[in-house]
Amino acid sequence: MPLFTDGPCVSVNDLAQEDSGLLDVAQTAGINVSAKISLAHDEIAADLQLWLDRWRNFGQLWRTYVRLDQVAATPQIKRWETLQALALFYRDAYFTQLADRYQPKWDEYARLTRVAYDRFVAAGMGIVNDPVPQAAPPVLGTVTGPQKGGSYYASVAWLNASGQEGAASVPSSITFPDGNLMTISAFAQPSNAVGFNVYAGVSLDALYRQNNAPLPPNGTFTYVPGAITSGALPSAGQRPDFIRPLVRTIPRG
């Protein structure tokens, strides 16, 4: 799963699957759904940081201070963010249109947001010891080669010293004529990354890992179409190394 700091945990499509009328309301009320998702993500980031600061204040309970970039986007956080975004969306719809028909949905999603938060607290916070952020989209180029041209796609993912892979990048694409091969380079190397993996193919639905061993951070990979047509798909990111309980601690005075 991705790190929370990789960006919003949900998409417009996730919200539309939860609420079938969302896109129609967005068009009618002129609401930017992506903006509400970003706002929900920022609000949850603030809540998560409060938990982290609380642990820091009670440092005798924990040996090390956990940073926000170590928090994994667990299913509980994703559910919380989905409902938070929907509550913000229908709150905006209510005040924009001054239409009472939106208030019940606002109230209901606000209630469900509290339920999702309570479930997150009950489940605990997933923590990654050596977090690898999501890679930036790769830089694609060409070299001369005896292959058929066309459109090709590639994604990259960074690895840490333990071989843990961060979330794969958003794919890049390139189109070129016959007599060329695609080259793939990663950039914006995280400080703890020791190499990267390449996922490539002729379709966004069929990007398979092309390298057998991690590539050096400054390396460039040349993709040969058809060399690998099955195998590992782009990584969703690191799983938590441990779950930290969320205990509401009251200091003794």
Instruction: Identify the residue with better confidence: 229 or 137.
Output: 137
Of the pLDDT bands very low, low, confident and very high (cuts 50, 70, 90), residue 253 is very low
Instruction: Identify the residue with better confidence: 251 or 184.
Output: 184
Per-residue burial over 91-106, b if 16 or more Cβ lie within 10 Å, else e, is: bbbbeeeeeeebeebb
User: Does 100 have pLDDT greater than 90?
Assistant: no
Listed range (26-35, 90-99, 164-173) with the worst mean pLDDT: 90-99
Per-residue burial over 12-43, b if 16 or more Cβ lie within 10 Å, else e, is: bebbeebeeebeebbeebebebeebbebbbee
190 CB contacts (<8 Å, ≥6 apart)? 132, 133, 158, 166
User: Does 108 have pLDDT greater than 70?
Assistant: yes
How high is the pLDDT of residue 251? 44
The three-state DSSP-derived secondary structure of 167-202 is CCCCCEEEEECCCEEEEEECCCCCCCCCEEEEEEEC
pTM of the model: 0.89
Q: Which has the closest alpha carbon to 238: 7, 68, 67, 74?
A: 74
H or E element that contains 157: strand 150-159
pLDDT tens for residues 148-186? 889 999 999 999 999 999 999 999 999 999 999 999 999
How high is the pLDDT of residue 148? 87
Question: Which domains does the chain carry?
Answer: 4-129 (no CATH), 139-223 (2.60.40)
Separation between Cα atoms, residue 191 and residue 204, nearest integer Å: 29
Separation between Cα atoms, residue 157 and residue 53, nearest integer Å: 30
Task: Give the DSSP letter string of 227-238.
Answer: S--SSPPPP--P
pLDDT tens for residues 34-78? 999 999 999 999 999 999 988 776 654 555 688 999 999 999 999
pLDDT tens for residues 196-220? 999 999 999 999 999 999 999 999 9
Handedness of CA 141, 197, 152, 186 (dihedral sign): negative
